[in-house]
Chain A
Amino acid sequence: MQFGFLLEQVVNGLVLGGYYLLIALGLSLIFSVGGIVNLAHGAFYALGAYISVEITKYLGFGSAVVLSPVAVAVLGILFERFILRRFYDADPILSLLVTFALAMVTEQAIRIIWGAPPISAAIPQALRGSVFLGDFLFSRYRLLILTVVAAVLLGVWLLLHKTSFGRVVRAGIQRPDMVAALGIRLQPYMTAIVMLGVGMAALGGAFFAPITIVHPAMGAEIITVAFVVVVIGGLGSFWGVVISALLVGVVRGITIHFAPAAGEASIYLLMFLVLMVRPRGLLGERIEKFE
């Protein structure tokens, strides 16, 4: 029975990892292609949650989880076009400062628009409750999240590995100078990557709004875990981030099973151990411009 319980925690950890992945993958892509540590990534996650709660009131939950990421992706275009673009070649400290500032501005803007107290959101009645597979228990809603994450993941993988768009992006990560020499402007690709990245973060926010508290600082809370996932996974590697997100989810679940008080510390210990053995992260590639 003990083993069964543990297995249940592992599976639940994988689901949670999938959710971390939605936020971490965009963060990793933006860093890999543009060399920018986007501290404002959590802010887009929070905006995704707030906008989806608003849309749910008028058009229902189904429309909200589609429209909210689209709306945030459009904000992403503005973010890239008017802010990020000026910092690709600048000192990295400047992009850190500007994205950190943007995170604060967004959080305060949320306070002004929606107020400082948290806003209320709930899962649609049809998606509540658990399903049993044998003796295994799954939250119906989280199974839906898992399906969506799997679909998004497949989509992003196909985009990066099976299209000409993806070839340019991957080349751009490794040798932007060569891409430029071939006469390809990386800028429109970067716009697309930022759109995709912040859109995925908003999707995470939209799906988690009904099961976690929706408040102005929610973006700042998620960004730390997302960074841990990116660092453990390693830069420039799609599968590194995927494996890392799942690993973080599972390690947290198992730790909570045995030592509940250490649950939150376990992921930082994991990061420490991984970096000791592999300083570039699990599957991190050697990227010239960052060495």
Chain B
Amino acid sequence: MTRYSRRTLLKAGAAFAGVSAIGSPAIVHAQAARIKIGHLVPLTGFLGAIGSYAQLGVKMAAEEINASGGIMGKQIDLMSEDSVNPATASTKAQRMIEQDGAVLLFGEISSASSLTIMQVAERNKKVFFSTGARSDALRGKDCNRYSFHCDIPNTVMVNAVGTALKQKGMVKGKKFVTLTADYIFGHDLLKAAKAFFGANDATLIGDEVIATDVTDFSPYLLKVRQAKPDVVCCNLAGNQVTNLVKQYAEFGFPYPLVGFNLNTGDAWAMGEGNLSGTWPTVWYHTLDNPASKAFVEAFSKKYGKPPENHAWIEYITLKMIAQAITETKSTESDALIAYFEKQTQFDIMKSRKAYFRSWDHQLVQEAYPFTVKAKNEMKDKWDMLVLGEAVPAAGADLESIYPTKTQNPCNMKA
């Protein structure tokens, strides 16, 4: 074999470094007339699996916008990176604004990381659309003027599943054990769940707080059996949900497993016959409306699989951002905030239109409870869920399932 001397390697390395240094200013120059948008989403860690779907959605939206001539004739320059963890997310958000010239930021799934990006957005007076974080606190006590929230909050997920459970007689007088993700999202969800149990005559007889990187749930499952609940309720996130459901099926407990949080990507990874019970979702690719069908078809054609709910939410968010910039003819934060605070209506591929509520910047939209399809009814491996009726029911006020002004302590400083 050929052996390279250290000197040769050093020379090659130096030459490579030199080329990159000369090359980059030209690239920066060429991009000056573009609109730079920063996108952060976890691609590693316990939310990395669903984050990978988010990235597919956002790439597709950017390509479509650019192919149709960009925004106000300018191409979008999408910078999409792995947010890793709350500290890194914050550092990257700051860098994207300060050094890379991002006019606004969007993305994120982890509520903890989203909170740190929200702070960066406020400090730098740049708009941030938090697409996948569900913690109530983000649009409640931690809300700020520069941050918008696209996904449904924990309270809505609890209401969506809770309504379905009540209809099945699984709440009143029942004993619950909950399993809770040990970070802001899980704690927040537990709080919403407790409020629901309290209001509906259910008792919480046990709660297990579980670290986000746990893969083996057997010790917790033994404790669940020892508590002998009527219903087991999952308040976990990302990979945790997949692992729990797989191992719950492994042990074959008689207590029904339900949950207040689930993403389709987690469900797809669970394996045949493992998932049962009632869960909430914000969007699913079988929703029957023209916009949704067209999106699902284009996405499936491009990637060979249907879009997951994070792919959908990143896609519609970038489209809403593009619409706002086009209509306001501005990338200034104040103009964009004013546009969204007018409660402009957006078609987000659901039967009813959605809008950002002016006082807490929550995207008000339908949600759906779902149960699991029997194997012989599935058209393909993605066709796992049976969506229930949209909540709130048709005709009811969309805001009726969202926390009210008195329940949601959001106080934005002007």
Contact = CB atoms under 8 A, between A and B. Distances in A.
Interface of A: 5, 8-9, 12-13, 15-16, 115-123, 125, 128-130, 137, 139, 141-142, 210-215, 217, 221-222, 252-253, 256-257, 260-261, 263-264
A214 to B, nearest CB: 7
B218 A142 contact: yes
13 contacts: A12-B218, A116-B52, A117-B265, A120-B272, A121-B271, A128-B249, A128-B250, A139-B218, A212-B215, A212-B246, A213-B242, A256-B223, A257-B219
A116 B250 contact: no
Interface string B265-280: 1001111111000000
Which of A15, A115, A117, A210: most chain B CB closer than 10 A? A117
Q: Which 8 A-B pairs have the closest CB atoms?
A: A122-B271, A129-B252, A116-B52, A118-B269, A256-B219, A213-B242, A253-B219, A120-B271
B250 A211 contact: yes
A137 B219 CA distance: 12
B239 A264 contact: no
Interface stretch (B188-196, B205-213, B289-297, B365-373): B205-213
B214 A213 contact: no
B242 A118 contact: yes
A55 B282 CA distance: 35
Interface stretch (B42-50, B164-172, B390-398): B42-50
Nearest to A128: B252
A283 to B, nearest CB: 25
B225 interface: yes
Given A213-B215, A217-B48, A122 B209 contact: no
Interface residues of B, number: 44
Contacts of B182: 261
Given A128-B252, A261-B209, A210 B246 contact: yes
Given A12-B219, A213-B246, A260-B220, A117 B53 contact: yes
Contact of B246 (A116, A211, A260, A261): A211
A221 B274 contact: no
A211 B218 CA distance: 10
A122 B247 CA distance: 10
B216 A212 contact: yes
